[in-house]
A and B are shown apart, each in its own frame.
Chain A
Amino acid sequence: MPAELEIGLIAVMTAASCAVCGSLLLVRGMTMTADAVSHTILLGVVLAYFAAGGLDSPLLFLGAAAVGLVTVALGEMLVKSRLVSEDSAVGVVFPLLFALAVILITRYASSVHLDTDTVLLGELAFAPFERMTLFGADIGAKGIYTSAGLLALDLLFAVALFKELKTVSFDRTAALVMGFSPALLHYLMMALVSLTAVGSFDTVGSVLVVAFMAAPAATAYLLAESFGKMLAAAVTAAAASAIIGVRAALALDVSFAGAMATAAGLVFLAALIAAPKRGLVGAYLRRRAGKRRR
């Protein structure tokens, strides 16, 4: 497989799995959590790196997911103490954990490949060099398998728990009455977000994780009428943005992550302006029509 195709494949699958998570977050009004979690998982990665002594251990995944959950739990604890409002709680917890991670990296791990630029930007360009081998045969870039696994996990979660997720997101009380625990589902979801974030940032960087958790979901929210359609639209928007971004990055020779994030923003901008019902133009026309009728 040519390297460019591999890069594109990884980009599309990563973007799609982020978009699934992002849609789940958006309908619950928690998109900024993606920002917080995608930053703090760095601390998990660093700690697991010290514990395992390498970057290849599955401990890294677990550590990162654990710290992601700790971020969410700490924030909720602060909110529950009712000393701090919700947004401030997020704003206090995640910079602290991220700052600790940056200090640990620059002080103790600056010699390894775990540097702060990689964390932000990822290294999609180098993804084809990391090969996956099975019985000595080269079966494609490692990133393809990671991102495909994550995408499968996210889709499985969304499909299997579709009804529950819908109920919890839109009607908490009904969920309680029906007897499944919103808290359990919430933490499952957060674990999934952390896992997706850590799996993606290894290849594409944390900036892209946030951009792809936020922008395609918001695009889909403007276009779709139901939760199922929204998920589909988000995945489509994410895949389209990823392809545009990769092509643009190759053509202009700029960073993949930056170009993909920008493409996602442009796709959102198009939907924002021109979405048939909820776009700015549509809303404006409707308002004007309403005024005239009066």
Chain B
Amino acid sequence: MTAALGSMPRLAAGTLAALLSDYTFRTVALGAAIIGLMSGVVGCFSVLRREALLADGASHAALPGVVAAYLITGSKDAAVLLAGAAASAVLAAAATVLTARRTRIKFESALAVAMSVFFGLGLALMSYAQRLPGASKAGLARFIYGEASSIVMRDVCASAALALMLTALVCVFFRQFKLAAFDPEYAASAGLRSGAAGGALTAMTVAVTVLGIQAVGAVLMSALLIAPAVAARQWTRSLAGMTALAAVFGAVSGVAGTAYSSLRDGVPTGPAIVVTASVIAGVSLLAAPGRGIAAKLVRRRRLRRRVLAANVSAPEGFDRTPPDASTTTEQSARPAAPPDGEGSPNAPQNERIIPAAPPDGEKHAAASAPDEDGKGGGSDAGGA
């Protein structure tokens, strides 16, 4: 498998076929895809509720639970270990929330304390467990960096069941979750129990995190929740669209990361999945239409050109031939009426100049109306 470097398409196709016919690969890829899918869905809500770092905390805090479950039961069964993981993650989350609410320590700092201390406790317990006869490190250490190859068909079935459950929950309670994510105060005033919805969302985050640890590892699990959601956010303005897209991105990252790591020797699966998800997020941030960085740059250039073209009380240095002469005459001829006829007479002229300033109702979208646009529009209007 390592011989195939993917340089020749025919060879690559052959490798792909070989990969797909490989039972282990199919199992692991399927498991990673399901975990990625769930992380995408749940991650959207964590990102919108600004609880993104909670996942990081939960995944670290799960470690002592894993080891304690092993020490108590003596079993390395994934279900037992994950139950322990969930218990200690919930404990750490509760401690964080209590500290943040009752003292002057902020949530972030409380989270950092809880997660690092829990993780340290986990490491101490692990070094103790390793000295016990018959306890090899292998079964436990996979929870730190993840070991996707340890996923077996039974894990896939279990996570598929959980994924179905989560998806059903999200579909049924979509409106409640949406309100809890965007406007918990309004939800409360409207008589909806957004506290319950928020609690359910946090619980789902913890559940998915704990489940994902096996594949991606404690340190990197948060990325699998955050990156697909951040990527999806750039392409759409509806929460439903974002959730669906994030699910797709998460699943694709899972499969692509698994494929990459099985094609290249010595590339661990978890980090490969995380890098894939991050690349998707990076591309989305750069290239998404309307909102992306590239689109913004283009818009700014266009705006600059128009402002120059309008020749707004330009200082000496700027008094040069505008690149688009026809626009100039048109604009100076009828300054008040936008040429494209869009917008009411009351509307300020900059409405026309910023075509895609996203009028997002979502409070997450801080990107509406960048200030350069505002400034440019203002000076243009002043000239008119």
Asked whether A103 lies within 8 Å of B268 as measured between CB atoms, the reply is: yes
- How many interface residues does chain A have, given as a range? 35 or more
A35 sits at the interface (CB 8 A): yes
Residues of B within 8 A of A211 (CB): 113, 116-117, 119-120
Separation of A33 and B53 alpha carbons in the complex (Å) = 11
Asked whether B271 lies within 8 Å of A100 as measured between CB atoms, the reply is: yes
Name A91's contact: one of B56, B99, B111, B115 (CB within 8 Å). B56
**Min CB distance, B162 to chain A, in Å?**
23
**Min CB distance, A121 to chain B, in Å?**
6
- Given A87-B50, A261-B117, A261-B121, CB of A221 within 8 Å of CB of B285: no
Tell me the interface secondary structure of chain B in the complex.
Answer: helix
Chain B interface: which of A63-71, A78-86, A168-176?
A78-86
Asked whether A92 lies within 8 Å of B226 as measured between CB atoms, the reply is: yes
A61 sits at the interface (CB 8 A): no
Given contacts A35-B112, A95-B227, 8 further A-B contacts (CB under 8 A): A35-B116, A95-B219, A96-B278, A100-B275, A221-B105, A261-B119, A265-B120, A272-B99
Separation of A262 and B125 alpha carbons in the complex (Å) = 10
Q: Mark B110-152, 1 if CB is under 8 A from A, else 0.
A: 1111011111111111111001000000000100110000000
Chain A interface: which of B319-327, B328-336, B364-372?
B364-372
B109 sits at the interface (CB 8 A): yes
Residues of B within 8 A of A254 (CB): 124-125, 127-128
6 pairs of residues in contact across A and B, judged by CB atoms under 8 Å: A82-B367, A87-B50, A214-B113, A215-B117, A258-B126, A283-B103
**Min CB distance, A58 to chain B, in Å?**
27
Name A215's contact: one of B113, B227, B270 (CB within 8 Å). B113
Asked whether B127 lies within 8 Å of A99 as measured between CB atoms, the reply is: no
B89 sits at the interface (CB 8 A): no
Binding site for B on A (CB under 8 A): 26, 29-32, 34-35, 39, 78, 81-85, 87-88, 90-92, 95-96, 98-100, 102-103, 106-108, 110, 116-117, 120-121, 207-208, 210-211, 213-215, 217-218, 221-222, 249, 252-255, 257-262, 264-265, 268, 272, 278-280, 283
B266 sits at the interface (CB 8 A): yes
**Min CB distance, A39 to chain B, in Å?**
7
Separation of A106 and B145 alpha carbons in the complex (Å) = 12
* Closest residue on chain A to residue B122 by CB atoms: A258
Asked whether B120 lies within 8 Å of A261 as measured between CB atoms, the reply is: yes
B264 sits at the interface (CB 8 A): yes
* Most chain A CB atoms below 10 A, which of B106, B122, B123, B272: B123
- Given A29-B108, A81-B285, A99-B275, CB of A208 within 8 Å of CB of B131: no
- Given A32-B108, A98-B219, CB of A262 within 8 Å of CB of B268: no
Residues of B within 8 A of A91 (CB): 52-53, 55-56, 222-223, 225-227
Asked whether B230 lies within 8 Å of A92 as measured between CB atoms, the reply is: yes
Separation of A117 and B127 alpha carbons in the complex (Å) = 12
**Min CB distance, B197 to chain A, in Å?**
20
Asked whether A262 lies within 8 Å of B109 as measured between CB atoms, the reply is: no
- Given A34-B112, A100-B275, A102-B271, CB of A222 within 8 Å of CB of B119: no
Separation of A106 and B275 alpha carbons in the complex (Å) = 15
3 pairs of A and B residues whose beta carbons are closest in the complex: A261-B120, A258-B124, A265-B117
B347 sits at the interface (CB 8 A): no
Q: Mark B278-299, 1 if CB is under 8 A from A, else 0.
A: 1001000100000111001000
Name B293's contact: one of A83, A264, A279 (CB within 8 Å). A83
Separation of A211 and B223 alpha carbons in the complex (Å) = 21
B10 sits at the interface (CB 8 A): no
Separation of A120 and B106 alpha carbons in the complex (Å) = 26
Q: Mark B49-76, 1 if CB is under 8 A from A, else 0.
A: 0111101100000000000000000000
Asked whether B278 lies within 8 Å of A92 as measured between CB atoms, the reply is: yes
Name B104's contact: one of A30, A107, A262, A278 (CB within 8 Å). A278
Name A207's contact: one of B120, B223, B265, B296 (CB within 8 Å). B120
Name A258's contact: one of B56, B125, B219, B266 (CB within 8 Å). B125
Residues of B within 8 A of A280 (CB): 98, 102-103
B248 sits at the interface (CB 8 A): no
Residues of B within 8 A of A278 (CB): 103-104
* Closest residue on chain B to residue A30 by CB atoms: B108
Asked whether A218 lies within 8 Å of B52 as measured between CB atoms, the reply is: no
**Min CB distance, B121 to chain A, in Å?**
5
Asked whether A32 lies within 8 Å of B53 as measured between CB atoms, the reply is: yes
Asked whether B266 lies within 8 Å of A95 as measured between CB atoms, the reply is: no
Residues of A within 8 A of B108 (CB): 29-32, 87
- Given A221-B104, A252-B128, CB of A92 within 8 Å of CB of B281: yes
- Given A83-B367, A265-B121, A280-B102, CB of A103 within 8 Å of CB of B267: yes
B220 sits at the interface (CB 8 A): yes
Residues of A within 8 A of B124 (CB): 249, 254-255, 258-259, 261-262
Separation of A186 and B122 alpha carbons in the complex (Å) = 33
* Closest residue on chain B to residue A93 by CB atoms: B278
Asked whether B364 lies within 8 Å of A85 as measured between CB atoms, the reply is: yes
Residues of A within 8 A of B265 (CB): 107
Name B113's contact: one of A82, A100, A218 (CB within 8 Å). A218
Asked whether B110 lies within 8 Å of A262 as measured between CB atoms, the reply is: no
Separation of A255 and B131 alpha carbons in the complex (Å) = 11
* Closest residue on chain A to residue B131 by CB atoms: A253
Residues of A within 8 A of B170 (CB): none
Residues of B within 8 A of A31 (CB): 108-109, 112-113
**Min CB distance, B198 to chain A, in Å?**
16
* Closest residue on chain A to residue B272 by CB atoms: A103
**Min CB distance, A14 to chain B, in Å?**
14
Separation of A34 and B111 alpha carbons in the complex (Å) = 12
Asked whether B116 lies within 8 Å of A207 as measured between CB atoms, the reply is: yes
Separation of A35 and B272 alpha carbons in the complex (Å) = 21
Residues of A within 8 A of B275 (CB): 96, 99-100, 103
Separation of A257 and B50 alpha carbons in the complex (Å) = 31
Separation of A105 and B37 alpha carbons in the complex (Å) = 28
